[in-house]
A and B are shown apart, each in its own frame.
Chain A
């Protein structure tokens, strides 16, 4: 894989003396905590997973009120025969019966209530399923082709010369404003461009259509916006001789559909955290885990790097006391990601510089935590996120804090560095704020990028001890989650989430947004996309 091993990884020989037995134990506990959740994901489906399958089969567009046709079709099928067997069997049976010449017409007729669906049995059932499989293959082939194209473009234009890659955010709400801003950011040195989503989008149970010019604190994720931005970044990649990666957000109620659109439009990274939606958006836990597994299977297939959201825990909980919850979440994210087929080079596990700068030794603790993540996940492209919670509005102090954040990133071999803005918590960054922020990053990488060669925290010194302490607290927490004996058949991780173990928020499994979109699979459930994803074959 072109992105498999960062060139400077050799410089990052283990600096902490961690007990390999403790590390193995941590991973095995994560597996133990995660396995029942995976089982849950394999035995349920959601409206959004089913809509994603229809998108792969080529159904797109929306009615004049903006309701996507995939929503109409899934709702109609659900209303008539239920989703327990998957949406595709009744849908492709209807096409076989000549209810409509194609998916779009079928969806339009279903919206008008002039199609009847049934659950075909026996030979008719298998015929519908094989038609469904054939129909989903071109979509999957497009995802595969995009992956090949990306690899070719990276070979042609090249990867960024330095690690960490420099990650910048644009967020105007208007895709046609975002495009020049993104191109400018790339010219100024950004390697990775994230287009922040309109904050309301995570709770929409449909994906908006077309190019959009209005969003709140961000721009809607739509397939057309994805296409426009990727094309613009392809242009600028060519101009700069450096492949510029594009990021969006596979989260919220439409996570599987957005993941699918990312694969179809060759996005390169997707924010995709295992528990973020549950904790911070109050989305139903089961909905999240089912949606997430499908999304991650798509990301694995598409060669997309996921970015996880551990930084968020530290915005609500204390970064010193709750440091181990970040490690636990990283381990869980790793387990769920690998189970879904993602490889190490695709795991942009997150962490952040959020320790209160007023407490003594805060910088040393940041170093310890960053080294711990580096050493626990030596082959993952770690995503290092800047201070937000302790940015006070004093932009001068904030600029210094960002410099120290950059220094930790440089010293500990982080791979993806989200550029901190001194205007964090003040205004959306001015052009000059972004320029200053990039100067800050460049200065630190240039001045201290190779410091990791000289920097070896002494055995049993403050940093080594702190890292070991966080790891052992993480193991303790995982043990509590796994051992916590509830009723037989209950899922310990869900109970922990319900009890407020993470980020201090309590999210019971039988509540939260999107719960009504969760359906238990019946025997004979068929999902041609999952079949292809799990077989790894589209030929």
Chain B
């Protein structure tokens, strides 16, 4: 196969045809005007030529459209920024060995869904032995002690539990969110931890959920954000990597 070109377009059935398919609803009744409006939107979205392949009234006030068209935009692969994983992926065995070497005791992880979120699928996928995407959860790791607090855990409860268990890391999941609740909840959580612990002693704070934007960790006051599709192995590898790093910084400070 030849080298990927720097400039690409979407692929419908022919290289370079730029074909995409979109669907949307406009808040007007279905008539000729509505169909014209849909094509105008398609044109403004950069679809030319655009084909209105389906229009259907949804009640008296709305119309649903499906449009196929050629996107006039070009994608320049040289301008795409990818956030690379900053840590190496380790096998479960390597994670266990590294923890033993690093800590000479088990790594304690406390996990919870905080705020109003009652959906534990995310945290369970990472923590429960059953795991996710064919990878066993953190409970499976012999050198990790997992405390899963479940759903709708209050922040003070989570802090208390983390202290009681001497947590090295706290994993918080936010799946269902509305009006940026996941942002507010996470900031409240990280602030509570900073308040409850002396500086430099705060456990690793890790949040996960489909709605978090990458690169926001600093603003949210957490160490790492994980998005949709994260596997337990990635989290375990990250924890080991981060523990090694904090270990190093602590030594430097004491020196």
Contact = CB atoms under 8 A, between A and B. Distances in A.
Interface of A: 173, 184, 187-188, 198-200, 202-203, 216-217, 280-282, 315-318, 389, 393, 425, 430-432, 435, 504-505
A188 B25 CA distance: 16
A217 B178 contact: yes
Contact of A280 (B118, B128, B228): B118
Given A199-B116, A200-B116, A280-B151, A435 B58 contact: yes
Contacts of A425: 210
Contacts of B62: 431-432
Contact of B25 (A316, A432, A505): A432
Contacts of A505: 150
A199 B150 contact: no
B116 A216 contact: yes
A431 B116 contact: no
Nearest to A321: B130
The 6 A-B pairs with the shortest beta carbon distances in the complex, nearest first, are A200-B116, A199-B116, A216-B116, A432-B64, A435-B58, A432-B25
B117 A188 contact: no
8 contacts: A173-B178, A217-B116, A217-B178, A280-B151, A282-B151, A282-B152, A425-B210, A432-B64
A216 B98 CA distance: 41
Nearest to A216: B116
A188 B178 contact: no
A373 to B, nearest CB: 24
B228 A389 contact: no
Contacts of A317: 130
A206 B181 CA distance: 22
A431 B25 contact: yes
Contacts of A389: 121
A216 B178 contact: yes
A425 B118 CA distance: 14
Contacts of A203: 152
B120 A281 contact: no
Interface string B126-142: 00101000000000000
Contacts of B121: 315-316, 389
Interface string B50-78: 00000010110010100000000000000
Interface string B194-230: 0000000000000000100000000000000000100
Nearest to B120: A316
Contacts of B178: 173, 216-217
B58 A431 contact: yes
A435 B115 CA distance: 32
A239 to B, nearest CB: 13
B161 to A, nearest CB: 12
A350 to B, nearest CB: 17
Interface in B159-188: 176-179, 181
A8 to B, nearest CB: 29
Given A188-B59, A216-B181, A432-B64, A504 B128 contact: yes
A282 B120 CA distance: 12
A184 B59 contact: yes
Given A199-B176, A216-B181, A435-B64, 17 more contacts: A173-B178, A184-B59, A188-B58, A199-B117, A216-B115, A216-B116, A216-B179, A217-B178, A280-B150, A280-B151, A282-B152, A425-B210, A431-B58, A432-B58, A432-B62, A432-B64, A504-B130
A200 B152 contact: yes
Given A198-B116, A316-B124, A432-B64, A281 B151 contact: yes
Contact of A199 (B64, B118, B210): B118
Given A188-B59, A217-B176, A432-B25, A281 B181 contact: no
A499 to B, nearest CB: 15
A184 B25 CA distance: 16
Contacts of B177: 216-217
Nearest to A201: B116
A316 B126 CA distance: 12
A217 B23 CA distance: 25
Nearest to A215: B178
B152 A199 contact: yes
Contacts of A430: 25
Nearest to B228: A393
A359 to B, nearest CB: 13
Contacts of A393: 228
Nearest to B118: A199
B152 A281 contact: yes
B194 to A, nearest CB: 24
Counting chain A CB atoms within 10 Å of each CB, which of B115, B118, B178 scores highest?
A: B178
B124 A202 contact: no
Contacts of A504: 128, 130
Contacts of B124: 316
Interface string B94-132: 000000000000000000000111101100100010100
Contacts of B64: 431-432, 435
Nearest to B65: A432
Contacts of B152: 199-200, 202-203, 281-282
Contacts of A280: 118, 120, 150-151
B160 to A, nearest CB: 14
Contacts of A431: 25, 58, 62, 64
Interface string B36-56: 000000000000000000001
A281 to B, nearest CB: 7
Contacts of A432: 23-25, 58, 62, 64
B63 to A, nearest CB: 9
A50 B29 CA distance: 53
Contacts of A202: 118, 152
Nearest to B63: A432
Nearest to B148: A505
A431 B152 CA distance: 29
Contacts of B210: 425
A184 B115 CA distance: 31
A217, A425, A504, most chain B CB atoms within 10 A = A217
Nearest to B66: A432
Given A435-B64, A505-B150, A187 B117 contact: no
Nearest to B124: A316
A279 to B, nearest CB: 9
Nearest to B211: A427
A318 B130 contact: yes
A317 B131 CA distance: 11
A516 B255 CA distance: 50
Contacts of A188: 58-59
A173 B151 CA distance: 20
Contacts of A315: 121
B214 to A, nearest CB: 17
A418 B58 CA distance: 20
